[in-house]
Amino acid sequence: MIPVLGLIGGILIGLFLQPEVPLWLQPYLPIAVIAALDAVFGAVRAVLDGIFNDKVFVVSFLANVVVAGFIVFLGDQLGVGSQLSTGVVVVLGVRIFSNVASIRRHLFRA
Amino acid sequence: MSQQPAPETPPAAEPPAERSAWRMMFRMARPRATRANFFAAALALALGFALATQVQQTQQQGLEQLREDELVRILDDVSQDAARLGNDARALEVTRDRLLSGADSSAEALRAAQERLDTLGILAGTVPAEGPGIVLTIDDPDKKVTSALLLDALQELRDAGAEAVQIGNVRVVASTYFTDVPNGIEVSGVPVSAPYEIRAIGESATMASAMDIPGGVSESVRRLGAVSRVEQRKSLSITALHTLEEPQYARPVPGPTGPGG
């Protein structure tokens, strides 16, 4: 409940403040957001599987964000930034889909 | 969470299992004041903040954060658009020029038509006219002047170049006729009485001398015992109007160049 409230509060703060994204962060923020979403859905799935662990969630969240950002950074340095970004988005999207499918099966038996 | 492996959920029936999944969600959703939960909330807060920020950043996305190939593609698009719009603009300019010249020529045609209308209006007696001319006044105390004399006078004036003529209050047009009636003269059915005043617009000197030629109007009037007087004027206005009637039988024959030619 508290994390959900935190999510909603964060969205409201973002909408209210309308901050400018710094230039150095602009290539990484979308990938980081998607990686974090993957961690969140993975956490929900873990809750339903009965294997949720707060510490694992925090660590995987941060690790996902950092690794996703690092991959994009590396791709930019190698000159394949846009392709690698696409690859990361695809992989994370597939993971989010499978997690959501698992959650759906748990909750609705369908 | 993990310390309670859901003992009250027998995996036998589906409804209980489903209910247990929801129950587990609700149990997890209960606020717990643990440090890890606080961290999770902070991370969720950061995630929501980043999400909203990124969405807004995307909506107001400028060019500065695009990659080189995207910029090249956008530049290509813009160049193609510019070329296409340039072509459109040229075509529209051509159309506009054509329409403008068309408007010019139609204004020219309108002016010519107005001139024709004025000329024909003066000829037909439907518009007032003004210009130099003469006023011929015939005093006829003995009522000797006949319609034939007025007709002669009109004919002399026409020969001398009169362009618009008014006798009394009657505008003289092609269909004007003169009749003798017991008490005087009728012009186109309108009685006129002495002194007869004939106004004619044209070259005043020519018309005045035409009145005075031997055997002309002045002499004829004198012979009848009446008095005629010619007055040349620099500016004379003819205000009597003739009412046109739609011809009942005659129809115009279109010329080879059309009715406007």
**Whether CATH 3.30.70.1880 fits B129-238:** yes
Does the bond joining B195 to the residue before it have cis omega, within 30 degrees of 0? yes
Whether the per-residue pLDDT at A77 is higher than 50: the answer is yes
Whether the per-residue pLDDT at A95 is higher than 90: the answer is yes
Contact B49 A14 (CB under 8 A): yes
* pLDDT at B10 (0 to 100): 42
Query: What pTM value is reported for the model?
Result: 0.43
DSSP H or E stretch at residue B35: helix B35-59
Length of chain B: 261
d(CA A93, CA A71): 16
* pLDDT at B89 (0 to 100): 95
* pLDDT at A1 (0 to 100): 64
Angstroms from A40 CA to nearest CA on chain B: 8
Q: Residue B160: exposed, middle, or buried by beta-carbon count in 10 A (0-12, 13-18, 19+)?
A: buried
Is A6 part of a structural domain of the chain? no
Is A5 part of a structural domain of the chain? no
Is A34 part of a structural domain of the chain? yes
A51 neighbourhood in chain B, CB within 8 Å: 2
As a whole-number percent, the residues of chain B with pLDDT over 90 amount to: 11
CB B9 within 8 A of CB B17: yes
d(CA A38, CA A62): 11
* pLDDT at B240 (0 to 100): 85
Contact B44 A14 (CB under 8 A): no
- Which CA distances in Å does B41 have to A4, B9, B134? 7, 29, 112
pLDDT digits (tens, 9 = 90+) for B43-99: 888 888 888 888 887 777 667 667 788 889 999 999 999 999 999 999 999 988 888
CB B210 within 8 A of CB B121: no
Domain boundaries, chain B: 129-238
As a whole-number percent, the residues of chain A with pLDDT over 70 amount to: 99
Which domain covers residue A62, as residue numbers?
Answer: 24-108
Query: Token pair for residue A80?
Result: 């394949």
Contact B1 A47 (CB under 8 A): yes
pLDDT digits (tens, 9 = 90+) for A30-73: 888 899 989 889 988 888 888 888 888 888 889 989 998 898 88
Name the residue with tokens 């599987």: A49
* pLDDT at B13 (0 to 100): 41
Strand, coil or helix: B5:
coil
CB A35 within 8 A of CB B43: no
Compute the Cα dihedral for B24, B28, B32, B34 and give only its sign: positive
Q: Mean pLDDT throughout B154-166?
A: 89
Beta bridge partners of B191: B186
Query: Token pair for residue B206?
Result: 């020519």
Q: In which band, very low, low, confident or very high, does the pLDDT at A96 lie, cut at 50, 70 and 90?
A: very high
Q: How many CB pairs under 8 A join A and B?
A: 138
Strand, coil or helix: B97:
helix
pLDDT digits (tens, 9 = 90+) for B100-154: 887 777 888 888 899 888 888 888 888 888 899 999 998 888 888 888 888 888 8
How many structural domains is chain A composed of? 1
Choose from B39, B47, B73 for mutation: most chain A CBs within 10 A.
B47
* pLDDT at B7 (0 to 100): 41
CB B208 within 8 A of CB B134: yes
Contact B41 A6 (CB under 8 A): yes
What is the Cα gyration radius of chain A?
16
Is A76 part of a structural domain of the chain? yes
Contact B44 A6 (CB under 8 A): yes
Is A35 part of a structural domain of the chain? yes
